[in-house]
């Protein structure tokens, strides 16, 4: 009997043969066989996802931000649906660094998955102590520093929103970690000038940037007429934030093309991931979509390979920052043909960096 394979929509890509594209990428000194990672907080430490796909097949698992001590997080409700996104105020619930190292990291190591460990603190001292705990831990692919946390020593001002405090955290982490392990600073989009923050953290020793974290948002329940989240405000994620994230990656890559970027924000498909790569990201993290499609990181990687092949790329690396290059010249009769291919279009990049948020 002949079996018909019905292939529409996403299943078509899932069934398609994956083209022979070199998916190897680098985040500073870290070489990854695939440019698709999980996003911090959206896949715990990878164990739950492993029942849906082989977690060693993606770039890396980025673990939920871990703090020094165990935390129960914020009161409930702490999730709210929004159009094309969701709002969360989990409040960095977690077991604390010691239990994390014993259980979660141990599991990742035994499983053979690459682990990017995300850390978060409420003071520079807390980040210092977290970094010191990781100093002699082997098998960490990179450290992602979540600086979207309130600084308890500065009236709750979020580290990521101030270039000086953001740099202080990164200096402390870099000084106290193994110099061979890349440190990625995770930036918040809730700032006027993300390039200023990016320059500050790179100046302080960050080897790369993760961008973006969630945007601060709020939902009011019109039945109770009160905030929907117990924590009042929360972080907005999902497709709604993708254009903001792509803009941030584009601006920072235009200003600092040599700094590796792990891009994220609303990636659901391979084409979404491609947008980030073209904007200047060397790799991407897949977050919110994982809650309704746990296999999304692997599917996005497969779809990305297909999208790259369809556009004539032979490797991911070739496509990184492609959107900054001038379009191919239109040959004009008699005039010199200038080859602008591979040239950064600084005029349009500057225009984007300088333009404020307009309508």
Ligand X SMILES: Cc1cc2nc3c(=O)[nH]c(=O)nc-3n(C[C@H](O)[C@H](O)[C@H](O)COP(=O)(O)O)c2cc1C
Find the helix or strand (DSSP H, E) in which 195 lies: helix 194-203
Tokens describing residue 146 = 């979540």
CA nearest to 248, candidates 214, 216, 290, 218: 214
- The CA distance from 98 to 346, in Å, is 47
* Binding residues for ligand X (CB under 6 A): 39-42, 64-65, 88, 90, 92, 118, 146, 186, 213-214, 235, 237-238, 241, 264-267, 286-288
Q: Among this protein's residues, is 149 annotated catalytic?
A: yes
- Shortest Å distance, C-beta 147 to ligand X: 9
Instruction: Give the HSE-up count for residue 76: Cα atoms under 13 Å, Cβ half-sphere.
Output: 1
- Shortest Å distance, C-beta 84 to ligand X: 10
In three-state secondary structure terms, 325 is: strand
- Shortest Å distance, C-beta 202 to ligand X: 18
Tell how far CA 299 is from the center of its chain: 17
Angle between helix axes 242-255 and 270-279 (nearest 10 degrees) is 30
Please name every residue paired with 186 in a beta bridge, in sequence order, or none if there are none: 146, 210
Which residue of the chain is nearest ligand X when measured via CB? 41
Please name every residue paired with 86 in a beta bridge, in sequence order, or none if there are none: 81, 237
Considering beta carbons, is residue 41 or 260 the nearer one to ligand X?
A: 41
Tell how far CA 134 is from the center of its chain: 21
Instruction: Give the HSE-up count for residue 190: Cα atoms under 13 Å, Cβ half-sphere.
Output: 17
Considering beta carbons, is residue 163 or 234 the nearer one to ligand X?
A: 234
Do 207 and 258 form a contact (C-beta atoms < 8 A)? no
- The CA distance from 184 to 204, in Å, is 11
For the chain, report the end-to-end CA distance as a whole number of angstroms: 59
- Shortest Å distance, C-beta 72 to ligand X: 14
CA nearest to 259, candidates 327, 318, 182: 182
- Shortest Å distance, C-beta 120 to ligand X: 6
Sequence-distant (6+) residues with CB within 8 A of 231 are: 74, 75, 78, 89, 91
Considering beta carbons, is residue 263 or 321 the nearer one to ligand X?
A: 263
Considering beta carbons, is residue 28 or 44 the nearer one to ligand X?
A: 44
Do 174 and 235 form a contact (C-beta atoms < 8 A)? no
Identify the active-site residue in 42, 149, 161, 248: 149
- The CA distance from 68 to 49, in Å, is 25
Considering beta carbons, is residue 230 or 309 the nearer one to ligand X?
A: 230
Tokens describing residue 292 = 């309704």
Considering beta carbons, is residue 206 or 241 the nearer one to ligand X?
A: 241
- Shortest Å distance, C-beta 341 to ligand X: 32
Phi, psi for residue 146 in degrees, rounded to 5: -80, 105
- Shortest Å distance, C-beta 325 to ligand X: 26
Considering beta carbons, is residue 216 or 309 the nearer one to ligand X?
A: 216
Residues known to be catalytic:
149
């Amino acid at each position: 009997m002949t079996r018909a394979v019905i292939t529409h929509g996403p299943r078509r890509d899932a069934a398609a043969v994956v083209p022979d594209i070199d998916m190897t990428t680098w985040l500073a000194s870290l070489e990854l066989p695939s440019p698709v990672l999980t996003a911090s907080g959206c896949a715990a430490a990878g164990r739950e996802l492993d029942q849906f796909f082989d977690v060693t097949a993606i770039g890396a698992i980025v673990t939920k931000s871990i703090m020094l001590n165990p935390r129960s997080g914020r009161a409930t409700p702490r999730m709210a649906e929004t159009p094309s996104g969701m709002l969360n105020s989990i409040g960095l619930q977690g077991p604390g660094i010691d239990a994390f190292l014993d259980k979660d990291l141990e599991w990742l190591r035994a499983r053979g998955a690459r682990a990017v460990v995300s850390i978060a603190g409420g003071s520079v001292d807390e980040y210092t102590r977290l970094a010191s705990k990781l100093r002699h831990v082997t098998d960490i692919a990179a450290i992602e520093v979540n600086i979207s946390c309130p600084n308890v020593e500065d009236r709750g001002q979020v580290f990521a929103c101030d270039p000086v405090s953001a740099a202080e955290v990164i200096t402390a982490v870099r000084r106290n970690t193994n110099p061979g392990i890349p440190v990625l600073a995770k930036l918040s989009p809730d700032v006027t000038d993300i390039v200023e923050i990016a320059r500050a953290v790179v100046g302080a020793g960050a080897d790369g940037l993760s961008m973006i974290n969630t945007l601060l948002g709020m939902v009011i329940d019109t039945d109770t007429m009160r905030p929907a989240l117990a924590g009042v405000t929360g972080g907005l994620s999902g497709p709604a934030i993708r254009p903001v994230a792509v803009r941030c990656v584009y601006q920072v890559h235009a200003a600092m093309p040599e700094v590796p970027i792990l891009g994220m924000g609303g990636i659901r498909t391979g084409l979404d991931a491609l947008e980030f790569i073209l904007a200047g990201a060397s790799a991407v993290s897949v977050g919110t979509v994982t809650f309704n499609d746990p296999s999304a990181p692997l599917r996005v990687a497969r779809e990305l390979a297909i999208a790259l092949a369809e556009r004539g790329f032979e490797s991911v690396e070739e496509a990184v920052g492609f959107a900054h290059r001038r379009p191919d010249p239109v040959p004009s009769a008699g005039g010199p043909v200038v080859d602008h291919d591979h040239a950064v279009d600084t005029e349009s990049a500057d225009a984007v960096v300088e333009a404020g948020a307009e309508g």
